[in-house]
Chains A and B, each alone.
Chain A
Amino acid sequence: MTLTQHDIDQEIAAEHAAYEKRVADGAPVEHHPRRDYAPYRSSILRHPQQPPIAIDVSKDPELVELHSPAFGERDITEIDNDLTRHHRGEPIGERITVSGRLLDRDGRPVRGQLIEIWQANSAGRYAHQREQHDAPLDPNFTGVGRTITDADGGYRFTTIQPGPYPWRNHLNAWRPAHIHFSVFGSAFAQRLVTQMYFPADPLFPYDPIIQSVTDDSARQRLVATYDHDLSVPEFSMGYHWDIVLDGPNATWLEEGR
């Protein structure tokens, strides 16, 4: 039987209600998705059934996971953070500026760390060989960028507003427009891969991936804020998105936490 949006809507609602009940019964707020989230069908066979083994890093400051691999100036080129300049011609679509700060759980800037992004073009097509969506490729847009955070933890990308696109989770499944982010912290244990969304996307309620974050407030933290001060006159629309890394780092130990 064909899996419909209505079926997925009901599953999403049930997962959300189950989460609300857990919290009402005293369970902690969940900032991240559960790996076992059936509305996103690909998760079914790809999540562990055993609980993870907790490692209390305060018991061993020597753990290699409390350190991060190093990235430097030679790992990026000057225009890697401007995705509109990677080809000879101008890409098609609405230019945007995406900027924010990379922070740790204590709100401190995470400096000198690698941020990589990738995204679909303005028609909702990835420049990926296995992507079969019948939307046009843009010869002037690949949709891959990287940068290293500055002394204030700041980052900035110039790119093209990505389009939404269909996928095969269920019949008539559409992903809201998003940009994928891969981020390193000052500790490997802070590693994060996630997706940034755009304000007020009408596809949010239908999408099992964003809805896998069942906490309403946490889900909002995946949505960038339109920021007129970031908009570049005659050039681009500005979006602000701060990223907060979870997980311990070595500074926690230095301060005796």
Chain B
Amino acid sequence: MTKIDTSRPETVLPTPSHTVGPFYGYALPFPGGGDIAPVGHPDTITVQGYVYDGEGNPLPDALVELWGADPEGNVPTADGSIRRDPATGGYVGRNGVEFTGWGRIQTDANGHWYARTLRPGARGRSAPYISVCVFARGLLVHLFTRIYLPGDDASLAADPLLSRVDASRRDTLIARDDGQGTYRFDIRLQGEGETVFLEFQ
């Protein structure tokens, strides 16, 4: 059953996904989860938004994870996002110096989330983006999407994903520039303006 015999590849089948449930809040979020950018870094941007359900109501219990390249387009290799204090077992948090590229934010009671991270550089043929994974009570399998930043129209037009997405839905993947390095990115799980979600194969 759940002892996998790796010498028999036909028995190596995926473990099914389940919802994160309503009670992860004391386990998964951590202080400074959205403060991904090293302190005072000149390439810091703020990304914020809401997560909405099919009736347009914000989710107070969604969990958003972000993962992105550094400003040069390199994949971060530093650990230390959730550093623990060996004396107390509590969190000491990030060191404010290294860039791990990964963050985790629980929406607040208003359904709002924010992160301060570094502006991602381009990799391969893609326009720069931050990868997003969304979890929530009621969501039986997490959802992947991407936050593209506006500004470089040529690069966005040439992006292999964006160029395949129907024009009427494409903007759900592009954050809105609110000025001063702040971007707005809402996630709509269902219905009008539904965010484009991705499946990696």
Interface residues of A, Cβ cutoff 8 Å to B: 31-35, 37, 40, 42-50, 52-57, 59-65, 67, 69-72, 74-80, 86, 100-101, 103, 105-108, 116-118, 120, 126-131, 142-144, 146, 180, 182, 188-189, 191-195, 209-210, 212-213, 217-225, 227, 240-248
Contacts and interface: CB of A to CB of B under 8 A. Distances in A.
B165 interface: yes
- SS class, residues of chain B in contact with chain A: loop
Given A53-B196, A180-B21, A222-B18, A69 B102 contact: yes
B2 A241 contact: yes
Nearest to A165: B23
Given A60-B124, A144-B27, A75 B140 contact: no
B138 A221 contact: no
B16 A222 contact: yes
Given A70-B76, A219-B16, A118 B24 contact: yes
Interface in B155-201: 160-161, 164-165, 169, 189-191, 194-201
Given A52-B199, A55-B200, A188-B131, A194 B78 contact: no
A106 B9 contact: yes
Q: How large is the interface on B (under 10, 10 to 19, 20 to 34, 35 or more residues)?
A: 35 or more
A180 B2 contact: no
Contact of A242 (B3, B84, B126): B3
Query: Nearest 9 CB-CB pairs, A to B?
Result: A62-B124, A42-B138, A72-B79, A69-B102, A118-B27, A107-B6, A246-B14, A46-B138, A189-B200
Given A74-B79, A225-B1, A53 B198 contact: yes
Contacts of B197: 48, 50, 52-53
A103 B201 contact: no
B71 interface: no
Given A32-B17, A33-B17, A242-B3, A47 B26 contact: no
A37 B141 CA distance: 11
B200 A248 contact: yes
A102 B79 CA distance: 20
B165 to A, nearest CB: 6
B22 interface: yes
25 contacts: A35-B141, A42-B137, A50-B197, A54-B200, A54-B201, A61-B124, A63-B123, A65-B144, A70-B78, A74-B83, A76-B84, A77-B84, A77-B85, A118-B26, A128-B23, A182-B24, A189-B200, A209-B140, A210-B18, A212-B140, A218-B13, A219-B16, A220-B2, A221-B13, A246-B14
